[in-house]
Amino acid sequence: MSMLSTSTPSFAFLRSRWLGCPLALMLTSTWALAQDKRWGPGEPASDYGYRFGELFWLITTLVSVAFALVVVLLIVPMLRDRARPGHRASFDHGKSLHDKRLTAVISIITFIVLDAWVLVIAMKDLREAYWAIPAAKDPQTYKVEVLAQQWAWSFRAAGVDGEFGTPDDILTTNELVVPKDRPVSFNLTSKDVIHSLFLPEMRMKKDLNPGAINLAWFKPVVEGEFSILCAELCGFAHYQMFGKLRVLEQGQFNEWEAEASQLASTAFDADDTEGHWAWDWQE
């Protein structure tokens, strides 16, 4: 026994930098790779989109450190404390007051560093971004009613008159056109099964439940064409339920809206009641 307690294990390799360097290298190279479309979701295109990336990489850093610690504590005994003749394990039930205190302290530290830190930021993100649905009354808010079905998206915008359920409502299938730099607010529901509206570049996702209306919003800050995917299993062609999101600069968007409204009025068939499906906007 005495042999055990006096022998000092060698931690020399821990003092060397060969453990810390690869970790830092791995993290940075992963981050760098993840900016590529082949390895990550690319640059965010909505005003709150950056929040996902920041939080993700904060968690990644914390988690990497914690996991590296676990791996080191796993590998060191494997290398150092192998059974061999004359070697005897130290006898420790870990039930002394000191051990209990150590457990409590480490628990509190990990909770604060790993969880509480992230929690505080997440709460801030939720309050400031994801759950801060813009007011419907605000004329800046661009409102879209989404009716999903197996396996397509139908989008209804109010058109120039700003009223839903009128002949000039702009109806599109699998294609959504929105103005840049204005908050886009959704009313989401489904005809048949549950779908989920996933705008990866906007970092937005929300389920569409039949029989209920869900709310979601985002504010595009980049012009261009983006993806719409379905993120809730909705049947065989779930994988084909995608659409196109076009973000237009405000002037172009106004022209587009006027023209689309005009075309919609032209196509309006007043007798076809079953073909109209707008509902009262919900907040």
Partner 1 sequence: MRGISWQGLAVAFGALGLLTSLQTSEDENPHARAPRDVSLVVTEGAWLRAPGADWFAQRAKAEPGRFTHDATAAGGAGGWVDSHGEYSLSEIEGEWAYWQWASAERLTDGRQDFVQFCSSCHGLNGDGYGRSGQHLRPTPRSFQQNKFKFTKVTADLPSDEALLSVIKRGLAGTPMLPWDLSDVQLLDIIQYIKSLSPEESGWRDVYSQVGDAIEVTEDPWTDTKERAIVRGREIYHGAASCHLCHPGYVTNEELRVIRKDPEGTTYRENLTYPALKDSEYEVLGRATKVMPPDFTWHQMRAGTTTADLFQTIASGIKGTAMPQWKGAISDEDLWALAHYVENLIVSYKDQPAARSAFMGGLRVSGDNK
Partner 2 sequence: MSSDHIHPEPTTFLRKHVFSIDHKVIAKQFLWFGLIWLGIGGIMAMMLRWQLANPGVPVPLIGGLLFPRTGGVIDPATYNTLFTMHGTIMIFLGLTPAMIGALGNWCIPLMIGARDMIFPTLNMLSFWAMFLGGAVGFYSLFVPLGATEVGWTGYPTLSTTVGAVGQGETLWAIAVFLIGASSIMGGINYITTVIRLRCPGMTWMRMPLTVWGLFLTSILNVLFIPVIGSAMIILVLDRVFGTSFYVPASIMSGGTGGDPILYQHLFWIFGHPEVYILILPAWGVVCDLLSFFARKPAFGYRTSVGAMVVVTVLSALVYGHHMFTTGLSAMLGESFMLLTMIISVPAEILFFNWLHTLWKGSLRLTTPMLFAMGVIFVFGLGGLTGIYCATIGTDIFLHDTYFIVGHFHLTMAASALFGTFGAIYFWFPKMFGRMMSERLGKLHFWLSFFPLVLVFCIMFISGYAGMPRRYYDHTSAEYLRPLQHLNVATTVSAFLLGVAQFIFVFNFIKSRWWGKTAPQNPWDVGTVDWTIATPVPHYNFKTIPVVRCGPHEFSNPVLGPDTDWIYQTEELPG
Residue 64 interacts with partner 1 (CB under 8 A): yes or no: no
Shortest distance (Å) from residue 43 CB to partner 1: 22
Query: For residue 243, what are the β-bridge partners?
Result: 228
Measured distance CA(176)–CA(47) in Å, rounded: 18
Shortest distance (Å) from residue 277 CB to partner 1: 4
Residue nearer to partner 2 on the CB measure, 64 or 262: 64
- Restricted to residues 159-188, the positions that interact with partner 1 (CB under 8 A) are 171, 173-175
Size of the site for partner 2 (CB under 8 A): 94
Measured distance CA(107)–CA(94) in Å, rounded: 15
Burial 228-242 (b: 16+ CB within 10 A, else e): bebbbebeeebeebe
Residue 209 interacts with partner 1 (CB under 8 A): yes or no: no
Q: Which of 176, 230, 248, 260 binds partner 2 (CB under 8 A)?
A: 230
118 Cβ partners below 8 Å, 6+ apart? 55, 58, 59, 62
Which of partner 1, partner 2, none interacts with 63 (beta carbon under 5 to 8 A by kind)? Answer: partner 2
Q: Which of 9, 77, 224, 235 binds partner 1 (CB under 8 A)?
A: 235
At which residue do the structure tokens 């996991």 appear?
67
Which of partner 2, partner 1, none interacts with 95 (beta carbon under 5 to 8 A by kind)? Answer: partner 2
Which of partner 1, partner 2, none interacts with 269 (beta carbon under 5 to 8 A by kind)? Answer: partner 1
- Restricted to residues 257-276, the positions that interact with partner 1 (CB under 8 A) are 259, 262-263, 266-269, 271-272, 274-276
Angle, helix 20-34 to helix 49-80, in steps of 10 degrees: 150
CA distances from 153 to 54, 120, 143, 189 (A): 30, 35, 16, 10
Residue 8 interacts with partner 2 (CB under 8 A): yes or no: no
User: Which of the stretches 10-18, 34-42, 144-152, 211-219 binds partner 1 when contact is defined by CB under 8 A?
Assistant: 144-152
Residue nearer to partner 1 on the CB measure, 21 or 237: 237
Which of partner 2, partner 1, none interacts with 198 (beta carbon under 5 to 8 A by kind)? Answer: partner 2
One-character DSSP codes across 226-245:
EEEEE-S--STTGGG--EEE
How many other CB atoms are there within 10 angstroms of residue 218's CB atom?
A: 26
Residue nearer to partner 1 on the CB measure, 28 or 254: 254
Going by C-alpha positions, the residue among 56, 25, 26 that lies closest to residue 40 is 56
Q: Which of 27, 118, 152, 221 binds partner 2 (CB under 8 A)?
A: 118
